[in-house]
Amino acid sequence: MSENKDAVLMNQNVTPEQFDWDSFESGLDADARKEKSDLEEIYNGSLTSLADNDVLTGKVVRLTDKEAIVDINFKSEGVISLNEFRYNSGLKVGDEVEVMVDRREDKSGQLQLSHKKARTLKAWDRVNELHETGEIVNGYVKSRTKGGMIVDIHGIEAFLPGSQIDVKPIKDYDQFVGKTMEFKVVKINPEFKNVVVSHKALIEADLEGQKKEIIAQLEKGQVLEGTVKNITSYGVFVDLGGVDGLIHITDLSWSRVNHPSEILEDGATVKVVILDFDDEKTRIQLGMKQLEAHPWDALSADMKVGDKVKGKVVVLADYGAFVEIAPGVEGLIHVSEMSWSTHLRSAGDFVKVGDEVEAEVLTLDRSDRKISLGIKQLNKDPWENIESKYPVGSQHVGTVRNFTNFGVFVELEEGIDGLIYISDLSWTKKIKHPSEFCAVGDKLDVIVLELDTASRRLSLGHKQLQENPWDKFETKYAEGTVHSGKTTDVFDKGAQVQFEDAEVEAFCPSRLLEKEDGSKIKKGEEAQFKVIEFNKEFKRVVVSHTGIFRDEEKRNTRESNSRPQVTSTGNEERATLGDIDALAELKKRMEGGE
């Protein structure tokens, strides 16, 4: 080596101190070596500047089908997948983008950059700033997820709830995927780096401005055009361009409406009139029918009481039916005007909703817009010529319709009812309630006792169809006659005795129940009884058992004395006032059900 140096020195004719050993060793002259040194400094400087987590600004110098080539003033250009620029479909050569070094060199010697990581690092501060200021930001809808959408906001994946997409309910979320939309950051969770955004908030803000402008111009009676927004069972909500109003079901049409969906459908455009609103104009009452003339105004001026009309039953209640005789004009047929019958029934027994009926106008009040109708008037009043059909004393067959405590109502024909008092049901039976004698629906023979045409009252009888048995009882049970009887009830003041024909019940005072051996007759015991009183008017028979053997004793005494005496008639055993009181008490007990 020293030999080579010496040779060089000899050839160049210089001293060792003057010889440029650097140029000799590197093969470069001084200018070339300086240029190389400058490049090494740039290179070494660029390497040390690419620290982890540093965000650099690069320029797009070339685009391929899958990648963007970005120059960051490094020894080589970096490569970024175009997938990281999906949010920016307008990326072009010359655009500046934020990048971060992912890998300094891959196996091909290329610098791998990440735009996504760079955006994420920078985006968090930006998102917090957007949340504080409320500034609107563009976001790219990446995909659909449970309950909403995933949105790219400056490289951060934010959540867009389904309820925050629009003011209207959204059914198809997929239609928004791949779109760039405006959002507002509404919530941030720093701990979990969660971000929630809303598009609905922007729409509401716009609508609020429109709403204030619209509300300020609202006046009662103003006619507006709106869009049906929601239909409920009680009415329809209409969007008036940012402010909602309600058309109540009763204000949709002059005709009766069962459900608003019969008149309108979602999305329909309607004309409405403002009927009323509150002081803040947040509750606006709208009407549709008010834009049309009232149906009563179109009702024929010639219509009068007594006219025949036709209509359809639209509402049915127990007390009657509402019939629409013209669009929006309804008349009430009360149940009492459906039949001449006086029996209370439900209107549903005569008509049903949807029936076409004919009726007569009974009252007509155009000022109050009320009309009452009747069906029964189309048939002849059964009380006309009632005297010829049901004269006093005539016999008929009727149907038991209902009971009262004092009698039975019997229908002779529809609209003709008569009352049989309980005392006119039987000559002999002691009836406490009419249901003991007959049942509802039974056919009953009757006779007309009284007729009051003015009051439409008919008094009927049933027992009068038979001969009064008390006429023959007057002879059969004459005072002094003796009969076999059975005590059916025994009480303190006497006993109830029934004779063999079971048609007559008699009363025996307690003191006259004594037998010959001194004991008294008990309940259910059969014995001989002598009639001591018979009253046809009050249907009263008083008897005595004691009088039978006492009369025998007196006869035996008279025969033994063999001297003439006046024959006893038993008058000394006639009922006393106390016995009569006891009999009255017995009757009261029987009628009271004791």
Which CATH number belongs to the domain containing residue 582 in this structure? Answer: 2.40.50.140
pLDDT at 242: 73
What's the burial of 449, exposed, middle or buried (CB within 10 Å: 0-12/13-18/19+)?
A: middle
Assess whether 454 and 501 both reside in one domain.
no
pLDDT at 43: 43
Assess whether 163 and 278 both reside in one domain.
no
In contact, 60 and 97? CB cutoff 8 Å? yes
Q: What is the dihedral of CA 219, 221, 224, 230, to 10 degrees?
A: 90
Q: What is the pLDDT of residues 529-553, one digit of tens each?
A: 999 998 877 778 899 999 888 766 6
Mean pLDDT of 480-504: 86
Alpha-carbon gap, residue 588 to 496, rounded angstroms: 13
Assess whether 526 and 551 both reside in one domain.
yes
Helices (H), ranges, 432-478: 469-476
Q: Which two three-digit tokens encode residue 499?
A: 């004779």
Task: Tell me what percent of the residues of the chain surpass a pLDDT of 90.
Answer: 22
Does residue 125 fall inside a structural domain?
no
Does residue 17 fall inside a structural domain?
yes
Assess whether 270 and 223 both reside in one domain.
yes
3-state secondary structure 84-135: HHCCCCCCCCCCEEEEEEEECCCCCCCEEEEHHHHHHHHHHHHHHHHHHHCC
Mean pLDDT of 502-527: 87
pLDDT at 196: 93
Q: Which two three-digit tokens encode residue 561?
A: 């004395």
pLDDT at 542: 93
Instruction: Return the H-helix or E-strand segment holding 259.
Output: none
* DSSP β-bridge partners for residue 459: 419, 450
pLDDT at 44 over 80: no
Task: Tell me what percent of the residues of the chain surpass a pLDDT of 70.
Answer: 81
Does residue 22 fall inside a structural domain?
yes
Q: Which two three-digit tokens encode residue 535?
A: 């009253």
Alpha-carbon gap, residue 239 to 225, rounded angstroms: 9
Assess whether 43 and 57 both reside in one domain.
no
Q: How many independent structural domains does the chain possess?
A: 7
Among 92, 119, 146, identify where a domain stops.
119
* DSSP β-bridge partners for residue 508: 495
Neighbours of 458 (CB within 10 A): 25
Among 119, 143, 169, identify where a domain stops.
119
Does residue 208 fall inside a structural domain?
no
The model's confidence at residue 580, banded by pLDDT at 50, 70 and 90, is low
Mean pLDDT of 49-72: 81
Q: Among 27-41, 145-159, 182-196, 295-309, which stretch is predicted with the lowest mean pLDDT?
A: 27-41
Assess whether 402 and 355 both reside in one domain.
no
Alpha-carbon gap, residue 316 to 353, rounded angstroms: 6
Alpha-carbon gap, residue 359 to 320, rounded angstroms: 13
pLDDT at 581 over 70: no
The model's confidence at residue 502, banded by pLDDT at 50, 70 and 90, is low
pLDDT at 570: 44
Length of the chain: 594
What's the burial of 153, exposed, middle or buried (CB within 10 Å: 0-12/13-18/19+)?
A: buried
pLDDT at 544: 93
CA angle 240, 245, 249 (to 5 degrees): 125
pLDDT at 476: 83
Report the predicted TM-score, pTM, of the whole model to 2 decimal places.
0.43
Choice between 550 and 412, residue whose per-residue pLDDT is larger:
412
pLDDT at 427 over 60: yes
In contact, 268 and 227? CB cutoff 8 Å? yes
Q: Which two three-digit tokens encode residue 391?
A: 């004269």
Q: Among 45-49, 175-179, 425-429, 571-575, which stretch is predicted with the lowest mean pLDDT?
A: 45-49
pLDDT at 571: 44
Assess whether 191 and 173 both reside in one domain.
yes
Backbone CA torsion sign across 565, 570, 575, 578? positive
Q: What is the pLDDT of residues 234-290, one digit of tens each?
A: 999 998 877 888 999 989 988 888 899 988 998 899 999 999 887 666 688 999 988
**Residue 137, CA distances (Å) to 145, 154, 185, 431 in order:** 21, 9, 8, 96
CA gyration radius, the chain: 58
Does residue 209 fall inside a structural domain?
no
Does residue 174 fall inside a structural domain?
yes
Among 465, 480, 513, identify where a domain stops.
465
pLDDT at 232: 93
Does residue 213 fall inside a structural domain?
no
The model's confidence at residue 575, banded by pLDDT at 50, 70 and 90, is low
**Residue 351, CA distances (Å) to 257, 314, 321, 348, 354 in order:** 20, 11, 8, 5, 9
Detail the DSSP E strand segments found in 146-296: 148-153, 156-161, 180-189, 194-198, 223-231, 235-239, 244-248, 269-277, 284-287
The model's confidence at residue 39, banded by pLDDT at 50, 70 and 90, is very low
The model's confidence at residue 565, banded by pLDDT at 50, 70 and 90, is very low
Backbone φ and ψ of 563, nearest 5°: -130, 145
Mean pLDDT of 36-62: 63
111-114 vs 137-145, strand pairing mode: unpaired
**Over the range 120-151, which residues count as b (16 or more CB within 10 Å of their CB) and which as e?**
bbbbbebbeebbeeeeebebbbbebeeebbbb
CA angle 458, 462, 464 (to 5 degrees): 100
pLDDT at 572: 43
Q: What is the pLDDT of residues 112-150, one digit of tens each?
A: 888 878 877 777 878 888 888 888 889 999 999 888 999
Assess whether 453 and 476 both reside in one domain.
no
pLDDT at 182 over 60: yes
Q: What is the dihedral of CA 410, 411, 416, 420, to 10 degrees?
A: -10
Assess whether 363 and 438 both reside in one domain.
no
Choice between 54 and 583, residue whose per-residue pLDDT is larger:
54
pLDDT at 129: 86
The residue segments making up the domain with residue 255 are 218-291
Does residue 128 fall inside a structural domain?
no
| Selection from 56, 103, 60, 108 nearest residue 85 by Cα | 60
Assess whether 477 and 579 both reside in one domain.
yes
Assess whether 253 and 365 both reside in one domain.
no
Alpha-carbon gap, residue 434 to 409, rounded angstroms: 10
In contact, 417 and 340? CB cutoff 8 Å? no
pLDDT at 47: 44
Backbone CA torsion sign across 575, 580, 582, 588? positive
pLDDT at 456 over 50: yes
Q: Which two three-digit tokens encode residue 24?
A: 């000799």
Assess whether 533 and 581 both reside in one domain.
yes
Q: What is the pLDDT of residues 69-100, one digit of tens each?
A: 988 887 778 888 888 888 787 889 999 988 88
pLDDT at 567: 42
Q: Which two three-digit tokens encode residue 122?
A: 């920078």
Average pLDDT, rounded, for the chain:
80
